[in-house]
């Protein structure tokens, strides 16, 4: 039967995914042994590794891929895969840290989706192996667990592009090469190369190898998990001699994570002009420059004049936070709730949370390219008012005509994004004592996969399980761009 074939294919692929997760769970055990963290931490990774391998092997032995992947089947695999990875990936937090299921699951989802919202406090006192796992899952989630699966299993057969499409951004984009497997290898090669480069640069400027590893894994993935409660601000707080350089290095690599990796490929192969010729990047640079200048002016007005003594420090603080927000990394050197930032900054940060980074990057948000297309659509509708009815006014992007069907998909996705934020904000307000702005900021952060919000981590940790579950759905929907998560609740997708 067709139904049996579909389920067989889904279970076989999920089994293969779980085998890959089981293998990855052995990696943190190296740190358990290296730092002599004891039997409990050893078990916290060994148990989920064996569970994942056992379920994965059982599924792959009892099923097979009986039909070619369709987009619907791929989205079901994608949605279920991310749920299963997050559930099993939460076990080290439950065993190793003694966290409740909901908090551990929340942290794992936040990690894999590269959101960076945390309900954990006292990070400096936590076992290094657990903190490493927390960073590693962000790094794996950066380019996507399905693309990682395609690389390590060498799957280049037909239908692989459907898996890639189900997980990546739902917009028509080109690839570096026609073959999907080679495309994924190129993307991961660039990703790994940038990560290693950041580790090297940070260690050159006297950051410990462990700290450099943790922050490099969570910078390129635009995840923002740090091993310090004060995030990147820690280096300034301890008086690190190169804290300014460290901040500029992280700004640079956050930008790399927020830019389309296809652009990186073109630049690395000699097409440097792509950095300014690409329409989405021009919007991206414009947003960063414009918002940075607006906030800087706001700070000057708030302080009653230009502070020449702290000019560089103020500029660096503002630039760091703007880049961190638009790339949805979520790192901070200054809390976005701090009095340093004027009211306009808090408004602009919400806007950047919604927009996010570039398509084809590791960043979250709606994506700059969609904002550019919607802007062109709005401009076209204005022109239609005063131009003749017979005038042909296609929406163009980099000299390519965007079909109306794709424009409608973008509009639908944008609507879905806003509805999720609205519902999540209302649920937060209903089950907490947060203000209206605080309640919406939490869901903005979850759906945009960004991390910062306008209340404390302590408050986030104490929120109702209902709110945490809402944010979990929001984080997954935001990372997978809504469709794979909601397809799981569509009856027709299972028929």
Name the band, by pLDDT with cuts 50, 70 and 90, for residue 151: low
What confidence score (pLDDT) does residue 404 get? 80
Name the band, by pLDDT with cuts 50, 70 and 90, for residue 276: confident
Whether 181 has a pLDDT exceeding 90, the answer reads no
Whether 165 has a pLDDT exceeding 70, the answer reads no
Q: Give the tokens for residue 163.
A: 């898996």
* Least confident window among 15-29, 252-266, 370-384: 370-384
Residues 182-231 have pLDDT tens digits of 778 888 999 999 999 999 999 999 999 999 999 999 999 999 999 999 99
Could you tell me the end-to-end alpha-carbon distance of the chain, in angstroms, rounded to an integer? 11
pLDDT > 70: percent of the chain: 91
What confidence score (pLDDT) does residue 2 get? 43
Find the helix or strand (DSSP H, E) in which 400 lies: strand 400-402
- Using the Cα atoms of residue 50, residue 51, residue 52 and residue 58 in order, give the sign of their dihedral: positive
Whether 434 has a pLDDT exceeding 90, the answer reads yes
Residue 202 in contact with residue 245, Cβ under 8 Å?
A: no
Q: How many Cβ atoms sit within 10 Å of the Cβ of residue 172?
A: 14
Residues paired with residue 396 on neighbouring β-strands, in sequence order: 401
Q: Which of 125, 131, 159 is nearest to 32 (CA)?
A: 131
What confidence score (pLDDT) does residue 156 get? 46
Cα dist from 425 to 307, 313, 419, whole Å: 38, 34, 10
Whether 1 has a pLDDT exceeding 50, the answer reads no
Mean pLDDT, rounded, for 475-481: 88
Name the band, by pLDDT with cuts 50, 70 and 90, for residue 177: low
Q: How many CA atoms lie within 13 A of 402 on its CB side?
A: 22
Name the band, by pLDDT with cuts 50, 70 and 90, for residue 254: very high
Mean pLDDT, rounded, for 430-446: 93
* Least confident window among 41-45, 133-137, 455-459: 455-459
Q: How many CA atoms lie within 13 A of 221 on its CB side?
A: 33
Residues 327-367 have pLDDT tens digits of 999 999 999 998 999 999 999 999 999 899 998 899 988 99
Q: Which residues contact 197 (CB under 8 A, 6 or more apart)?
A: none
| Separation CA 129–CA 352 (nearest Å) | 33
User: Which SS3 state, helix, strand or coil, does residue 7 take?
Assistant: helix
DSSP 278: -
Count each helix (H run) and each strand (E run) in the chain, helices first: 24, 2
Q: Any idea which residue has 């894994």 for tokens?
A: 217
| Separation CA 78–CA 22 (nearest Å) | 17
Cβ neighbourhood burial of 378 (10 Å; 0-12, 13-18, 19+): exposed
Cβ neighbourhood burial of 424 (10 Å; 0-12, 13-18, 19+): buried
What confidence score (pLDDT) does residue 179 get? 66
Whether 401 has a pLDDT exceeding 90, the answer reads no
Whether 160 has a pLDDT exceeding 70, the answer reads no
Residues 29-76 have pLDDT tens digits of 999 999 999 999 999 999 999 999 999 999 999 887 666 777 777 788
| Separation CA 440–CA 365 (nearest Å) | 15
| Separation CA 190–CA 430 (nearest Å) | 44
Q: Which of 67, 115, 297, 118 is nearest to 223 (CA)?
A: 115
Mean pLDDT, rounded, for 386-415: 82
What is the chain's mean pLDDT, rounded? 89
| Separation CA 324–CA 356 (nearest Å) | 10
What confidence score (pLDDT) does residue 235 get? 97
Q: 236-245, 263-272, 395-404 — which one is most confidently predicted on average?
A: 236-245
Name the band, by pLDDT with cuts 50, 70 and 90, for residue 133: very high
Q: Which of 388, 124, 357 is nearest to 222 (CA)?
A: 357
Q: Which residues contact 30 (CB under 8 A, 6 or more apart)?
A: none
Mean pLDDT, rounded, for 137-162: 69
């Amino acid at each position: 039967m067709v139904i049996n074939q579909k389920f067989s294919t889904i279970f076989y692929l999920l089994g293969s995914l779980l085998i890959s997760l089981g293998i990855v769970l052995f990696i943190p055990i190296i740190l358990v042994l290296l730092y002599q963290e004891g039997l409990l931490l050893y078990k916290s990774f060994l148990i989920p590794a064996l569970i994942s391998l056992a379920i994965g092997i059982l599924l792959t032995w009892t099923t097979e891929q009986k039909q070619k992947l369709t987009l619907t089947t791929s989205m079901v695999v994608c949605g279920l895969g991310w749920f299963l990875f997050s559930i099993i990936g939460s076990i080290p937090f439950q065993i190793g840290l003694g966290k409740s299921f909901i908090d551990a699951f929340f942290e794992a989802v936040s990690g894999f989706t590269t959101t960076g919202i945390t309900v954990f406090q006292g990070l400096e006192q936590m076992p290094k192996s657990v903190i490493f796992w927390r960073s590693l899952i962000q790094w794996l989630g950066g380019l996507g667990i399905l693309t990682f699966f395609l690389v390590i299993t060498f799957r280049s057969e037909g239908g692989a592009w459907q898996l890639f499409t189900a997980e990546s951004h739902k917009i028509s984009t080109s690839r570096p090469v026609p073959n999907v497997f080679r495309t994924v290898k190129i993307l991961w090669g660039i990703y790994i190369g940038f990560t290693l480069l950041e580790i090297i640069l940070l260690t050159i400027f006297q950051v410990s190898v462990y700290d450099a590893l943790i922050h490099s894994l969570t910078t390129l993935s635009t995840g923002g998990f740090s091993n310090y409660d004060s995030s990147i601000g820690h280096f300034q707080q301890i008086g690190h001699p190169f804290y300014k350089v460290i901040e500029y290095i992280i700004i640079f690599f956050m930008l790399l994570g927020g830019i389309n990796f296809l652009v990186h490929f073109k630049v690395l192969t000699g097409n440097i002009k792509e950095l300014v010729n690409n329409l989405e990047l021009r919007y991206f640079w414009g947003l960063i420059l414009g918002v940075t200048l607006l906030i800087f002016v706001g700070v000057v007005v708030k302080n009653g004049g230009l502070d020449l003594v702290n000019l560089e420090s103020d500029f660096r603080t503002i630039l760091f936070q703007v880049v961190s927000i638009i790339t949805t990394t979520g790192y901070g050197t200054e809390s976005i709730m701090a009095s340093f930032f004027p009211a306009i900054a808090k408004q602009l940060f919400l806007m950047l949370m919604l927009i996010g980074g570039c398509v084809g990057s590791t960043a979250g948000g709606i994506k700059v390219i969609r904002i550019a297309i919607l802007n062109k659509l709005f401009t076209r509708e204005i022109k239609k008012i005063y131009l003749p009815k017979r005038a042909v006014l296609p929406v163009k992007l980099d000299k390519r005509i965007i079909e109306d069907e794709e424009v409608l998909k973008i509009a639908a996705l944008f609507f879905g994004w806003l509805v999720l934020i609205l519902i999540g904000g209302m649920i937060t307000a209903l089950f907490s004592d947060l203000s209206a702005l605080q309640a919406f900021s939490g869901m903005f952060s979850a759906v945009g996969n960004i991390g910062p919000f306008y209340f404390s981590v302590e408050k986030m940790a104490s929120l109702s399980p209902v709110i945490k579950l809402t944010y979990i759905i929001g984080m997954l929907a935001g990372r997978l761009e809504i469709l794979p998560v909601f397809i799981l609740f569509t009856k027709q997708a299972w028929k």
